[in-house]
Amino acid sequence: MPSNLLKTTIATGLMLALSGCFESSTQNSTDTKDADIQGTEIHLAMMVPPRTGLSPLSDDAFTLSRWSTAETLIELNDQAEALPKLATEWQQIDDLTWQFTLRDGVVFHDGSKLTAEMVINSIDKAFEAAPKPRIIDGINWQVRAVDDKTVEIKTDFNDPLLPSRLSSPQLAILAANAYLENGRINPTRAGSGPFVLTEINGATSAKLERYEGYWGEKAKIDRITAEYVPDGFARAAALRTGKADVVEAVPVSQLAMIDPELLHEVNMPRTNTLYLNNQSEVFSQLEMRKIATAAIDRKQIIETVYENRAAYAEGLLGPALAWAAPLRPEAPQLEQGLKANGEKVVLGTFTDRAELPEVAILVKQQLENAGFNVELDIREYGQIENDALAGNFDIFMLSRATVIDSGDPVAYMMSDFSCEGSYNLGQFCSKQVDAALTHADLQPLGEARQKAIIEAEQKILSEYAAIPLLHERVIQGESLRIKQAVRDPRERLMITEHTDVN
Protein backbone atom coordinates (compact mmCIF):
# COMPACT_ATOMS: atom_id res chain seq x y z
CA MET A 1 0.00 0.00 0.00
CA PRO A 2 1.46 3.47 -0.87
CA SER A 3 2.66 5.37 2.23
CA ASN A 4 0.26 8.32 1.81
CA LEU A 5 -2.69 5.98 1.38
CA LEU A 6 -1.62 4.01 4.44
CA LYS A 7 -1.41 7.19 6.51
CA THR A 8 -4.82 8.29 5.32
CA THR A 9 -6.30 4.90 6.19
CA ILE A 10 -4.75 5.00 9.67
CA ALA A 11 -5.99 8.54 10.27
CA THR A 12 -9.50 7.67 9.09
CA GLY A 13 -9.61 4.73 11.46
CA LEU A 14 -8.44 6.86 14.35
CA MET A 15 -11.06 9.48 13.55
CA LEU A 16 -13.87 6.97 13.95
CA ALA A 17 -13.20 6.95 17.66
CA LEU A 18 -13.18 10.74 17.70
CA SER A 19 -16.25 11.40 15.56
CA GLY A 20 -18.63 11.34 18.49
CA CYS A 21 -16.48 13.89 20.33
CA PHE A 22 -16.39 16.36 17.44
CA GLU A 23 -19.79 15.71 15.89
CA SER A 24 -21.54 18.88 17.08
CA SER A 25 -18.94 21.11 15.41
CA THR A 26 -20.26 20.11 12.00
CA GLN A 27 -23.84 20.60 13.13
CA ASN A 28 -23.15 24.11 14.36
CA SER A 29 -21.44 25.08 11.14
CA THR A 30 -24.24 23.82 8.90
CA ASP A 31 -27.45 24.18 10.89
CA THR A 32 -28.03 27.87 11.57
CA LYS A 33 -31.35 27.32 13.29
CA ASP A 34 -29.84 24.94 15.86
CA ALA A 35 -26.90 27.30 16.36
CA ASP A 36 -29.28 30.15 17.18
CA ILE A 37 -30.94 27.99 19.83
CA GLN A 38 -27.87 26.32 21.28
CA GLY A 39 -25.38 29.18 20.99
CA THR A 40 -21.99 29.12 19.32
CA GLU A 41 -19.71 26.18 20.11
CA ILE A 42 -16.26 25.44 18.75
CA HIS A 43 -14.12 22.33 18.97
CA LEU A 44 -10.38 22.19 19.52
CA ALA A 45 -7.98 19.33 18.85
CA MET A 46 -5.18 19.77 21.40
CA MET A 47 -1.90 17.95 20.92
CA VAL A 48 -0.70 17.16 24.47
CA PRO A 49 -3.01 15.68 27.14
CA PRO A 50 -2.72 17.24 30.61
CA ARG A 51 0.15 15.89 32.65
CA THR A 52 -0.97 17.06 36.09
CA GLY A 53 -4.75 17.40 35.88
CA LEU A 54 -4.41 20.92 34.40
CA SER A 55 -2.46 22.24 37.37
CA PRO A 56 -1.21 25.77 36.60
CA LEU A 57 2.08 24.94 38.33
CA SER A 58 3.08 22.59 35.50
CA ASP A 59 3.24 22.95 31.72
CA ASP A 60 -0.54 22.39 31.79
CA ALA A 61 -0.66 26.09 32.65
CA PHE A 62 -0.11 26.91 28.98
CA THR A 63 -3.22 24.94 28.06
CA LEU A 64 -5.28 26.97 30.55
CA SER A 65 -3.79 30.13 29.07
CA ARG A 66 -4.54 29.06 25.47
CA TRP A 67 -8.18 28.63 26.49
CA SER A 68 -8.28 32.08 28.16
CA THR A 69 -9.56 30.72 31.46
CA ALA A 70 -6.61 31.53 33.78
CA GLU A 71 -4.96 34.97 33.83
CA THR A 72 -1.72 36.45 35.11
CA LEU A 73 -0.83 39.82 36.64
CA ILE A 74 1.10 40.80 33.51
CA GLU A 75 0.86 39.87 29.83
CA LEU A 76 3.40 40.27 27.02
CA ASN A 77 2.90 41.83 23.60
CA ASP A 78 4.47 40.55 20.38
CA GLN A 79 7.73 42.31 21.25
CA ALA A 80 7.86 40.64 24.70
CA GLU A 81 7.08 43.95 26.43
CA ALA A 82 5.17 43.79 29.71
CA LEU A 83 1.56 45.03 29.61
CA PRO A 84 -1.20 45.23 32.25
CA LYS A 85 -3.51 42.27 32.89
CA LEU A 86 -4.75 41.63 36.44
CA ALA A 87 -2.27 44.28 37.55
CA THR A 88 -2.86 47.70 36.00
CA GLU A 89 0.43 49.34 36.95
CA TRP A 90 3.71 48.64 38.72
CA GLN A 91 6.83 50.41 39.85
CA GLN A 92 10.26 49.50 41.18
CA ILE A 93 10.55 51.18 44.59
CA ASP A 94 14.24 50.32 45.05
CA ASP A 95 16.72 47.77 43.70
CA LEU A 96 14.96 44.89 45.47
CA THR A 97 11.34 46.04 45.81
CA TRP A 98 8.45 46.19 43.34
CA GLN A 99 4.82 47.14 43.90
CA PHE A 100 1.85 46.08 41.73
CA THR A 101 -1.59 47.69 41.71
CA LEU A 102 -4.45 45.24 41.11
CA ARG A 103 -7.32 45.77 38.71
CA ASP A 104 -10.70 46.72 40.18
CA GLY A 105 -13.82 44.70 39.41
CA VAL A 106 -12.20 41.30 38.82
CA VAL A 107 -14.40 38.43 39.98
CA PHE A 108 -13.22 34.83 39.77
CA HIS A 109 -15.41 32.16 38.24
CA ASP A 110 -16.42 30.94 41.70
CA GLY A 111 -17.71 34.42 42.63
CA SER A 112 -14.79 35.48 44.84
CA LYS A 113 -13.09 38.83 44.22
CA LEU A 114 -9.48 39.58 43.32
CA THR A 115 -7.54 40.85 46.33
CA ALA A 116 -3.91 41.14 47.32
CA GLU A 117 -4.28 38.07 49.53
CA MET A 118 -5.53 36.05 46.55
CA VAL A 119 -2.42 37.03 44.61
CA ILE A 120 -0.10 36.23 47.50
CA ASN A 121 -1.74 32.84 47.95
CA SER A 122 -1.20 31.87 44.29
CA ILE A 123 2.43 33.07 44.29
CA ASP A 124 3.16 31.28 47.57
CA LYS A 125 1.75 28.03 46.16
CA ALA A 126 4.08 28.37 43.17
CA PHE A 127 7.11 28.74 45.44
CA GLU A 128 6.01 25.74 47.53
CA ALA A 129 5.66 23.52 44.46
CA ALA A 130 8.15 20.75 43.73
CA PRO A 131 9.47 21.31 41.19
CA LYS A 132 8.95 25.06 41.12
CA PRO A 133 7.72 26.68 37.92
CA ARG A 134 10.73 27.28 35.66
CA ILE A 135 10.36 31.05 35.74
CA ILE A 136 11.11 31.21 39.48
CA ASP A 137 13.59 28.34 39.56
CA GLY A 138 16.57 29.36 41.70
CA ILE A 139 15.17 32.68 42.95
CA ASN A 140 13.41 33.81 46.12
CA TRP A 141 10.67 36.36 46.72
CA GLN A 142 9.07 37.84 49.81
CA VAL A 143 5.50 38.80 48.93
CA ARG A 144 3.20 40.90 51.10
CA ALA A 145 0.04 42.99 50.86
CA VAL A 146 0.55 46.75 51.15
CA ASP A 147 -3.23 47.08 51.11
CA ASP A 148 -6.14 45.17 49.59
CA LYS A 149 -5.23 46.26 46.05
CA THR A 150 -1.43 46.51 46.23
CA VAL A 151 1.08 43.65 46.28
CA GLU A 152 4.74 44.12 47.12
CA ILE A 153 7.45 41.72 45.97
CA LYS A 154 10.96 41.81 47.43
CA THR A 155 13.71 39.95 45.61
CA ASP A 156 17.20 38.93 46.74
CA PHE A 157 18.81 40.57 43.68
CA ASN A 158 18.03 43.45 41.34
CA ASP A 159 15.83 41.60 38.87
CA PRO A 160 14.98 43.60 35.73
CA LEU A 161 12.89 40.70 34.46
CA LEU A 162 10.44 40.56 37.37
CA PRO A 163 7.36 41.99 35.58
CA SER A 164 8.00 39.64 32.66
CA ARG A 165 8.30 36.69 35.03
CA LEU A 166 4.80 37.45 36.30
CA SER A 167 3.46 36.96 32.77
CA SER A 168 4.27 33.23 32.86
CA PRO A 169 1.07 31.12 32.73
CA GLN A 170 2.60 29.08 35.55
CA LEU A 171 2.10 32.13 37.79
CA ALA A 172 -1.60 32.49 36.95
CA ILE A 173 -3.75 33.81 39.78
CA LEU A 174 -6.55 31.44 40.80
CA ALA A 175 -9.32 31.66 43.39
CA ALA A 176 -8.34 30.39 46.85
CA ASN A 177 -10.74 27.43 46.54
CA ALA A 178 -8.61 26.00 43.70
CA TYR A 179 -5.82 25.03 46.09
CA LEU A 180 -6.60 21.73 47.80
CA GLU A 181 -4.76 19.57 50.30
CA ASN A 182 -1.42 17.88 49.56
CA GLY A 183 -0.49 20.42 46.91
CA ARG A 184 -3.33 19.46 44.57
CA ILE A 185 -5.00 22.16 42.46
CA ASN A 186 -8.40 22.08 40.80
CA PRO A 187 -8.66 24.89 38.21
CA THR A 188 -12.36 24.23 37.51
CA ARG A 189 -14.35 27.47 37.99
CA ALA A 190 -11.25 29.05 39.55
CA GLY A 191 -9.87 31.41 36.89
CA SER A 192 -10.73 35.00 36.00
CA GLY A 193 -10.62 34.87 32.19
CA PRO A 194 -13.39 35.25 29.59
CA PHE A 195 -14.04 31.46 29.62
CA VAL A 196 -15.02 29.30 32.60
CA LEU A 197 -13.49 25.84 32.79
CA THR A 198 -16.57 23.79 33.69
CA GLU A 199 -15.49 20.19 33.16
CA ILE A 200 -12.27 18.19 33.14
CA ASN A 201 -12.49 14.66 31.75
CA GLY A 202 -9.03 13.35 32.61
CA ALA A 203 -6.75 13.03 29.61
CA THR A 204 -9.71 12.91 27.22
CA SER A 205 -11.36 16.34 27.05
CA ALA A 206 -12.38 19.52 28.79
CA LYS A 207 -15.31 21.94 28.42
CA LEU A 208 -15.54 25.68 28.84
CA GLU A 209 -18.31 28.29 28.71
CA ARG A 210 -18.38 32.04 28.26
CA TYR A 211 -18.04 33.90 31.58
CA GLU A 212 -20.73 36.54 31.81
CA GLY A 213 -19.01 38.25 34.75
CA TYR A 214 -15.72 38.85 32.96
CA TRP A 215 -14.07 42.18 33.80
CA GLY A 216 -13.18 42.86 30.15
CA GLU A 217 -14.95 42.45 26.83
CA LYS A 218 -17.33 39.47 26.86
CA ALA A 219 -16.34 36.48 24.74
CA LYS A 220 -18.10 36.02 21.40
CA ILE A 221 -18.07 32.20 21.65
CA ASP A 222 -20.58 30.51 23.96
CA ARG A 223 -18.88 27.17 24.51
CA ILE A 224 -15.62 25.35 23.85
CA THR A 225 -15.02 21.61 23.73
CA ALA A 226 -11.34 20.70 23.77
CA GLU A 227 -10.30 17.15 22.88
CA TYR A 228 -6.80 15.80 23.46
CA VAL A 229 -5.60 14.12 20.28
CA PRO A 230 -1.94 13.11 20.69
CA ASP A 231 -1.86 11.31 17.36
CA GLY A 232 -0.87 13.76 14.62
CA PHE A 233 -2.63 11.83 11.85
CA ALA A 234 -5.88 11.99 13.81
CA ARG A 235 -5.51 15.74 14.42
CA ALA A 236 -4.96 16.30 10.71
CA ALA A 237 -8.01 14.17 9.86
CA ALA A 238 -10.11 16.14 12.36
CA LEU A 239 -9.20 19.34 10.50
CA ARG A 240 -9.66 17.85 7.04
CA THR A 241 -13.10 16.42 7.81
CA GLY A 242 -14.38 19.49 9.70
CA LYS A 243 -14.60 17.69 13.05
CA ALA A 244 -12.36 20.28 14.71
CA ASP A 245 -12.31 24.05 14.29
CA VAL A 246 -8.77 24.72 15.57
CA VAL A 247 -6.02 22.10 15.53
CA GLU A 248 -2.65 22.28 17.22
CA ALA A 249 0.48 21.25 15.33
CA VAL A 250 -0.66 19.67 12.09
CA PRO A 251 2.10 17.20 11.06
CA VAL A 252 4.15 18.13 8.02
CA SER A 253 3.52 14.67 6.57
CA GLN A 254 -0.20 15.44 6.35
CA LEU A 255 -0.09 18.88 4.71
CA ALA A 256 -0.44 17.65 1.14
CA MET A 257 -3.83 16.13 1.97
CA ILE A 258 -5.32 19.31 3.51
CA ASP A 259 -6.75 22.43 1.88
CA PRO A 260 -3.97 25.07 2.13
CA GLU A 261 -6.55 27.66 3.22
CA LEU A 262 -6.88 25.75 6.49
CA LEU A 263 -3.15 25.84 7.28
CA HIS A 264 -1.21 28.65 8.95
CA GLU A 265 2.57 28.46 9.43
CA VAL A 266 4.05 30.06 12.55
CA ASN A 267 7.78 30.54 13.19
CA MET A 268 8.38 29.27 16.68
CA PRO A 269 11.01 29.99 19.34
CA ARG A 270 11.20 26.20 19.66
CA THR A 271 14.29 24.06 19.17
CA ASN A 272 14.43 20.34 18.51
CA THR A 273 17.39 19.29 20.65
CA LEU A 274 19.31 16.12 21.53
CA TYR A 275 20.20 16.24 25.24
CA LEU A 276 23.30 14.09 25.87
CA ASN A 277 23.34 12.57 29.35
CA ASN A 278 26.58 13.93 30.76
CA GLN A 279 26.40 11.42 33.64
CA SER A 280 25.88 8.30 31.53
CA GLU A 281 28.68 5.79 30.98
CA VAL A 282 29.11 6.83 27.36
CA PHE A 283 28.44 10.57 27.28
CA SER A 284 30.26 11.42 30.48
CA GLN A 285 33.23 11.31 28.06
CA LEU A 286 33.71 14.58 26.17
CA GLU A 287 35.18 12.71 23.20
CA MET A 288 32.00 10.62 22.84
CA ARG A 289 29.87 13.77 22.93
CA LYS A 290 32.02 15.27 20.16
CA ILE A 291 31.70 12.13 18.01
CA ALA A 292 27.91 12.17 18.41
CA THR A 293 27.74 15.87 17.54
CA ALA A 294 29.86 15.42 14.41
CA ALA A 295 27.67 12.48 13.32
CA ILE A 296 24.43 14.46 13.11
CA ASP A 297 23.31 15.63 9.67
CA ARG A 298 20.79 18.41 10.36
CA LYS A 299 20.21 19.11 6.69
CA GLN A 300 19.05 15.55 6.04
CA ILE A 301 16.60 15.73 8.95
CA ILE A 302 15.14 19.06 7.83
CA GLU A 303 14.74 17.96 4.21
CA THR A 304 13.46 14.45 4.92
CA VAL A 305 11.16 14.87 7.90
CA TYR A 306 10.21 18.56 7.87
CA GLU A 307 10.11 19.02 4.10
CA ASN A 308 12.25 22.15 4.59
CA ARG A 309 9.69 23.71 6.97
CA ALA A 310 12.29 24.25 9.70
CA ALA A 311 15.49 26.26 10.19
CA TYR A 312 18.99 24.77 10.58
CA ALA A 313 20.14 25.15 14.19
CA GLU A 314 23.41 27.02 14.61
CA GLY A 315 22.72 27.36 18.33
CA LEU A 316 20.11 26.86 21.01
CA LEU A 317 18.24 30.03 20.01
CA GLY A 318 16.66 30.27 16.58
CA PRO A 319 15.54 32.91 14.06
CA ALA A 320 12.43 33.74 16.11
CA LEU A 321 14.93 35.69 18.26
CA ALA A 322 16.30 37.86 15.49
CA TRP A 323 19.05 39.33 17.68
CA ALA A 324 20.73 35.97 18.40
CA ALA A 325 22.43 35.08 15.10
CA PRO A 326 24.33 38.39 14.61
CA LEU A 327 25.87 38.03 18.08
CA ARG A 328 26.86 34.36 17.67
CA PRO A 329 30.46 33.54 16.66
CA GLU A 330 31.16 31.04 13.91
CA ALA A 331 30.83 27.47 15.15
CA PRO A 332 34.08 25.49 15.51
CA GLN A 333 34.68 22.75 12.98
CA LEU A 334 34.58 19.27 14.46
CA GLU A 335 36.98 16.61 13.22
CA GLN A 336 35.12 14.29 10.88
CA GLY A 337 35.54 10.55 10.55
CA LEU A 338 36.00 9.76 14.26
CA LYS A 339 34.18 6.58 15.23
CA ALA A 340 32.70 5.11 18.36
CA ASN A 341 33.50 1.47 19.15
CA GLY A 342 30.03 0.00 19.28
CA GLU A 343 29.07 1.79 22.51
CA LYS A 344 25.42 1.10 23.26
CA VAL A 345 23.20 4.14 23.87
CA VAL A 346 19.47 4.46 24.45
CA LEU A 347 17.70 7.32 22.65
CA GLY A 348 14.33 8.35 24.09
CA THR A 349 11.65 10.61 22.67
CA PHE A 350 7.86 10.83 22.53
CA THR A 351 4.98 10.44 20.11
CA ASP A 352 2.97 13.56 21.03
CA ARG A 353 4.82 15.54 18.35
CA ALA A 354 4.37 13.49 15.21
CA GLU A 355 7.75 14.41 13.67
CA LEU A 356 9.88 13.30 16.64
CA PRO A 357 9.69 9.52 16.08
CA GLU A 358 10.66 10.07 12.44
CA VAL A 359 13.58 12.26 13.47
CA ALA A 360 14.62 9.64 16.03
CA ILE A 361 14.89 7.00 13.30
CA LEU A 362 17.17 9.24 11.23
CA VAL A 363 19.28 10.17 14.26
CA LYS A 364 19.64 6.47 15.07
CA GLN A 365 20.94 5.79 11.56
CA GLN A 366 23.36 8.73 11.69
CA LEU A 367 24.77 7.69 15.07
CA GLU A 368 25.08 4.07 13.99
CA ASN A 369 27.05 5.26 10.94
CA ALA A 370 29.43 6.82 13.47
CA GLY A 371 29.87 3.54 15.34
CA PHE A 372 27.26 3.73 18.09
CA ASN A 373 24.80 0.93 18.84
CA VAL A 374 21.49 2.77 19.30
CA GLU A 375 18.29 1.51 20.93
CA LEU A 376 15.10 3.59 20.57
CA ASP A 377 12.54 4.08 23.36
CA ILE A 378 9.52 6.02 22.06
CA ARG A 379 6.37 6.55 24.16
CA GLU A 380 3.75 9.19 24.88
CA TYR A 381 5.25 12.08 26.82
CA GLY A 382 3.22 11.40 29.95
CA GLN A 383 4.67 7.89 30.09
CA ILE A 384 8.29 8.84 29.46
CA GLU A 385 8.81 12.17 31.29
CA ASN A 386 9.76 10.68 34.66
CA ASP A 387 12.40 8.45 33.10
CA ALA A 388 13.79 11.41 31.14
CA LEU A 389 14.04 13.61 34.23
CA ALA A 390 15.67 10.76 36.17
CA GLY A 391 18.44 10.51 33.56
CA ASN A 392 17.50 7.02 32.40
CA PHE A 393 18.45 7.73 28.77
CA ASP A 394 21.83 8.34 27.18
CA ILE A 395 20.12 10.74 24.77
CA PHE A 396 16.73 12.37 25.02
CA MET A 397 15.22 14.27 22.11
CA LEU A 398 12.86 17.09 22.92
CA SER A 399 11.06 19.83 21.07
CA ARG A 400 11.72 22.66 23.53
CA ALA A 401 10.26 26.16 23.69
CA THR A 402 13.08 28.60 24.46
CA VAL A 403 11.20 31.75 25.55
CA ILE A 404 7.85 30.35 26.60
CA ASP A 405 7.87 31.59 30.19
CA SER A 406 8.90 35.24 30.08
CA GLY A 407 9.76 36.19 26.52
CA ASP A 408 13.40 35.87 27.63
CA PRO A 409 15.50 32.69 27.12
CA VAL A 410 17.47 32.83 30.38
CA ALA A 411 14.79 30.92 32.31
CA TYR A 412 14.87 28.09 29.75
CA MET A 413 18.67 27.95 29.81
CA MET A 414 18.74 27.96 33.62
CA SER A 415 16.16 25.20 33.79
CA ASP A 416 17.87 22.96 31.21
CA PHE A 417 21.60 23.61 31.70
CA SER A 418 22.31 24.90 35.21
CA CYS A 419 23.50 22.50 37.90
CA GLU A 420 20.27 22.90 39.88
CA GLY A 421 17.99 23.24 36.86
CA SER A 422 14.58 21.67 37.31
CA TYR A 423 14.48 20.30 33.71
CA ASN A 424 18.10 19.27 33.29
CA LEU A 425 17.55 16.26 31.01
CA GLY A 426 21.27 16.05 30.24
CA GLN A 427 22.27 15.82 33.94
CA PHE A 428 24.69 18.61 33.01
CA CYS A 429 26.63 20.67 35.54
CA SER A 430 29.34 23.25 34.89
CA LYS A 431 30.46 26.01 37.26
CA GLN A 432 31.50 28.10 34.27
CA VAL A 433 28.08 27.77 32.66
CA ASP A 434 26.31 28.51 35.94
CA ALA A 435 28.38 31.68 36.34
CA ALA A 436 27.62 32.76 32.76
CA LEU A 437 23.89 32.18 33.23
CA THR A 438 23.84 34.07 36.53
CA HIS A 439 25.68 36.96 34.87
CA ALA A 440 23.18 37.01 31.98
CA ASP A 441 20.22 37.01 34.36
CA LEU A 442 21.55 40.10 36.15
CA GLN A 443 21.83 42.19 32.98
CA PRO A 444 19.18 44.79 32.10
CA LEU A 445 16.86 44.06 29.19
CA GLY A 446 18.46 45.00 25.89
CA GLU A 447 21.80 44.57 24.14
CA ALA A 448 23.89 43.81 27.24
CA ARG A 449 21.56 41.00 28.25
CA GLN A 450 21.44 39.60 24.73
CA LYS A 451 25.24 39.52 24.48
CA ALA A 452 25.52 37.77 27.84
CA ILE A 453 22.89 35.19 26.80
CA ILE A 454 24.85 34.28 23.65
CA GLU A 455 28.06 34.01 25.68
CA ALA A 456 26.30 31.53 27.99
CA GLU A 457 24.92 29.63 25.01
CA GLN A 458 28.43 29.26 23.57
CA LYS A 459 29.78 27.90 26.86
CA ILE A 460 27.02 25.26 26.88
CA LEU A 461 27.74 24.26 23.30
CA SER A 462 31.50 24.18 23.90
CA GLU A 463 30.86 21.44 26.46
CA TYR A 464 28.77 19.53 23.88
CA ALA A 465 26.06 19.21 26.52
CA ALA A 466 23.35 19.12 23.86
CA ILE A 467 22.99 19.04 20.09
CA PRO A 468 20.48 21.58 18.74
CA LEU A 469 19.06 20.13 15.52
CA LEU A 470 16.57 22.61 14.10
CA HIS A 471 14.17 25.41 14.92
CA GLU A 472 10.55 24.53 14.29
CA ARG A 473 7.75 26.15 12.40
CA VAL A 474 4.40 24.96 13.66
CA ILE A 475 1.37 24.55 11.44
CA GLN A 476 -1.90 25.56 13.11
CA GLY A 477 -5.07 24.32 11.46
CA GLU A 478 -8.24 26.44 11.41
CA SER A 479 -11.59 25.74 9.80
CA LEU A 480 -12.90 28.42 7.46
CA ARG A 481 -15.67 29.33 9.90
CA ILE A 482 -13.21 30.45 12.60
CA LYS A 483 -12.28 34.11 12.95
CA GLN A 484 -9.46 35.56 15.09
CA ALA A 485 -7.99 32.42 16.56
CA VAL A 486 -4.53 33.43 17.76
CA ARG A 487 -1.39 32.04 16.10
CA ASP A 488 0.98 32.57 18.98
CA PRO A 489 4.71 31.76 18.68
CA ARG A 490 4.95 31.56 22.47
CA GLU A 491 2.02 29.11 22.67
CA ARG A 492 0.20 31.16 25.32
CA LEU A 493 -2.91 32.07 23.37
CA MET A 494 -5.26 30.30 21.01
CA ILE A 495 -8.87 31.22 21.81
CA THR A 496 -9.62 34.65 23.27
CA GLU A 497 -12.67 36.82 23.86
CA HIS A 498 -12.25 38.10 20.27
CA THR A 499 -12.43 34.66 18.62
CA ASP A 500 -15.66 34.23 16.64
CA VAL A 501 -17.23 32.15 13.88
CA ASN A 502 -18.62 33.13 10.48
- What's the CATH code of the domain at 464? 3.10.105.10
Domain boundary among 140, 155, 178: 178
2-41: string of b/e by CB count within 10 Å (b at 16+)?
Answer: eeeeebbeebeebbeebeebbebbbebbeeeeebeeeebb
- Regarding whether 386 and 278 lie in a shared domain, the answer is yes
Report yes or no on 428 lying in a domain. yes
Q: Looking at the structure, do residues 95 and 232 belong to the same domain, yes or no?
A: no
Residue 37 is predicted with a pLDDT of 40
Mean pLDDT of 75-81: 82
Decide if 149 is inside a domain.
Answer: yes
Residue 188 inside a domain? The answer is: no
Please give the pLDDT value at position 22.
56
Quick check: is 186 in a domain?
Answer: no
Q: How far apart are CA 228 and CA 341, in angstroms?
A: 43
pLDDT digits 0-9 by tens, 151-163: 999 999 898 889 9
pLDDT of residue 183: 84
Q: Identify the DSSP state of 329.
A: P
Pick the range with the lowest mean pLDDT from 64-73, 127-136, 140-149, 376-385.
127-136
Question: What is the mean predicted confidence (pLDDT) over 320-333?
Answer: 89
Q: How many domains does the chain have?
A: 3
Task: Evaluate whether 312 touches 331 at the Cβ level (below 8 Å).
Answer: no
279 and 423 fall within a common domain: yes
Q: CA torsion 455→460→464→470, rounded to 10°? A: -80
Which residue did the predictor score with more confidence, 26 or 315? 315
Same structural domain, 61 and 80: no
Which residue, 149, 178, 207, sits at the end of a domain?
A: 178
Beta-carbon contacts of residue 32 (< 8 Å; ≥ 6 apart) = none
Do 220 and 295 lie in a common domain? Answer: no
* H/E run at residue 364: helix 355-369
Q: How confident is the model at residue 4 (pLDDT cuts 50, 70, 90)?
A: very low
In a domain, 352, yes or no: yes
- The per-residue pLDDT for 135 is 86
User: Is the pLDDT confidence value at 23 over 80?
Assistant: no
Residue 214 pLDDT exceeds 70 = yes
213 and 307, same domain (yes or no) = no
Rounded mean pLDDT, 261-266:
94
Average pLDDT for 349-368: 95
Could you tell me if residue 254 is inside a domain? no
Shared domain for 151 and 289, answered yes or no, is no
Q: Are 165 and 453 contacting, i.e. CB atoms less than 8 angstroms apart? A: no
Q: What is the number of helices (H) and of strands (E) in the chain?
A: 14, 19
| pLDDT higher than threshold 50 for residue 40 | yes
Instruction: Classify residue 160: in a domain, yes or no.
Output: yes
Is residue 328 over pLDDT 80?
Answer: yes
Question: What share of the chain has pLDDT > 90, as a percent?
Answer: 75
Domain termination site, one of 148, 178, 208: 178
Asked whether residue 330 is domain-assigned, the answer is: yes
Specify the CATH number for the domain of residue 131: 3.90.76.10
pLDDT at 180 over 80: yes
283/309 same-domain check: yes
Which pLDDT value is given to residue 427? Answer: 97
Q: Give the residue with greater pLDDT, 124 vs 443.
A: 124
By CB atoms closer than 10 A (0-12, 13-18, 19+), residue 369 is exposed
Least confident of 117-126, 130-139, 218-227, 274-283: 130-139
Whether 295 and 391 map to the same domain: the answer is: yes
Question: Span 270-282, mean pLDDT?
Answer: 97
d(CA 383, CA 449): 37
Q: What is the pLDDT of residue 453?
A: 96
Domain check: are 418 and 313 in the same one?
yes
Average pLDDT in the 7-24 region?
45
**Most confident by average pLDDT, 35-44, 260-269, 430-439:** 430-439
Structural domain boundaries, residue 366: 268-472
Residue 402 is classified by DSSP as S
Residues 339 and 425 in one domain: yes
pLDDT of the residue at 225: 98
pLDDT of 19 > 80? The answer is no
In this structure, the answer to whether residues 273 and 140 fall within a common structural domain is: no
Q: What average pLDDT does range 295-300 have in this prediction?
A: 96
- Average pLDDT of the residues of the chain: 90
Q: The dihedral of CA 432, 433, 438, 444: what is its sign?
A: positive
